[in-house]
Structure 1
Amino acid sequence: MKQCTWLEANGVGQAIFGTNSEANSISAPQKMSALTALIEGRLNPEHMMPGTGATSIDAAVTITRHAVNHKCAGVLMLQPFFYKEVSDDGLFAYFSEVIQKMGSTALQIYIYNILPVTKLNLSLSLLAHLAKEYPNTVVGMKDSSGDWAYTESVIQLLAPSGFRVYAGVMKYF
């Protein structure tokens, strides 16, 4: 809580339950409890983008609904990455199912692209399809691919329509 409070006081938004916080080792109820505790600890949910992606659609929906109900600025959604070589159609179906089950106009999804960890490529055509089909819901991405050419391609293709791209760096030693 102390670190989050310091970040909040210094104008830094928080993407809790991302890869640096071992999110995939935490259950949905634990994530929801932690998010609630942070908000009850006076952190502004409008400055938070919790990671809500999960390999289970129902788990992703449950965590996402909790974040939306707490009025978080958006959610950072990792694709289901356990199975490799998932097609664009399969990935689109996953995100679409989560969005449909949510049924919320308040939902703001930032796709989390972290190829070094997931080993799943998020193609430009997939991102464009999601942004076109759900323009008020799929509003951006956090790209931690470490591939600037890819990041730049996403920016050139989607940023003109308002799609936001946050670039992160992944280094493996």
Structure 2
Amino acid sequence: MTDAIRGYWTAVPTPLTALGAVDNARLATHVRGLFAAGIDGVVLFGTTGEGTSFNVGERIATVEALLGAGIAPGRIGLGGGFAAITDSISLTRAALAAGLTQILLLPPYFYRDVDAAGIESAFAAILDAVADDRLRLTLYHIPQVAGVGVPPDVAAKLRARYGHVVAGVKDSSADFDQFRAFRAAAPQLAVTVGNEADIARAMAEGGAGTICGMANVAPALVKMMLDGPAKDTAKETAKETAKEIAMREAIALVSGRPFVPALKAILAAQTGDSAWAQVRPPLRAVADGAALKARLDAVLRSAGL
């Protein structure tokens, strides 16, 4: 059994039908395309997948649909974490019953003044209720979005308490000092990064890989970052600098606006499939996908892609 998420994983957006339901057929096609581009696995219903807009039943139905479409369970991670820990328990149990083992959980959110002991007790309550050795839990740290993060000492205590069941941390804080804090506090955990600009140096400092959203629209550029710096010659060092600049420019295209609608708009323009631009309320679709795609194409050309 895979111990933790490692390598090149993509946080996938969730395509919708005209009625706002998950379009599982379109999602399966997208996932196969990502695998063909060299991606190791996908995470459903994370931040990029508008996860908090979908309930337990919808998420599990999509898992079952992808499994039915021939997507291997070992290549699927499922985003979870709810304000109510009973929902996290239900989701995790159902995912394990379906054959998945890789679950990513946010800490319970809304109570933003909760202390580290409260966060630890919430994760412990979920793990004690699920009580399944097959589980490989990734703690999901994205405090700038969720309002609540995972303190590094909590990650370390949970790993010490539950062993390999607590397998990793996804650090999407975009604060590299935070990545280093997780590595220092719990070196046994597989720490992946969500901020694409940090991938190369994270790998150089013992990171496990990435779970990121930009891979949906620029998979080759993300792969360049994941391969890490080339240091053999001055020419190769220059290439490394160029790809880091290109990645920052690609990220800047969607900064300053809601990330998910912008990413979906680019994907709609790339595929010629306008349905990809649809989002669930309270998000709103953006209309400049073609312009964003053109700017991204220019960035990719600057990186030799």
Shorter chain as denominator, the TM-score bin is over 0.9
Q: Provide the rounded CA distance (Å) in 2 between the counterparts of 1:108 and 1:132.
A: 14
Q: How does 1:1-173 map to 2 (within 5 A)?
A: 1-12=28-39, 13-159=41-187, 162-169=188-195, 172-173=255-256
Query: Is the CA contact 1:47–1:73 (under 8 Å) kept in the aligned structure 2?
Result: no
Percent of aligned positions with the same letter in both sequences? 25
SS at match of 2:186: helix
Please, which runs of 5 or more residues in structure 2 have no aligned partner?
1-27, 197-250, 257-305
Larger radius of gyration between Structure 1 and Structure 2: 2
Q: 1:57 to 1:121 in 2, by over 3 A?
A: closer
Q: Distance in 1 between matches of 2:73 and 2:36?
A: 13
SS in 1 for 2:67: helix
TM-score by length of 2: 0.54
Separation in 2, partners of 1:82, 1:112 = 15
Amino acid at match of 1:23: G
SS of the residue corresponding to residue 141 of structure 1 reads strand
User: Distance between the aligned counterparts of 1:69 and 1:11, measured in 2?
Assistant: 28
Distance 1:101 1:158, change over 3 A: same
The residue type paired with residue 169 of structure 1 is N
Gaps (5+ residues) in structure 1?
A: none
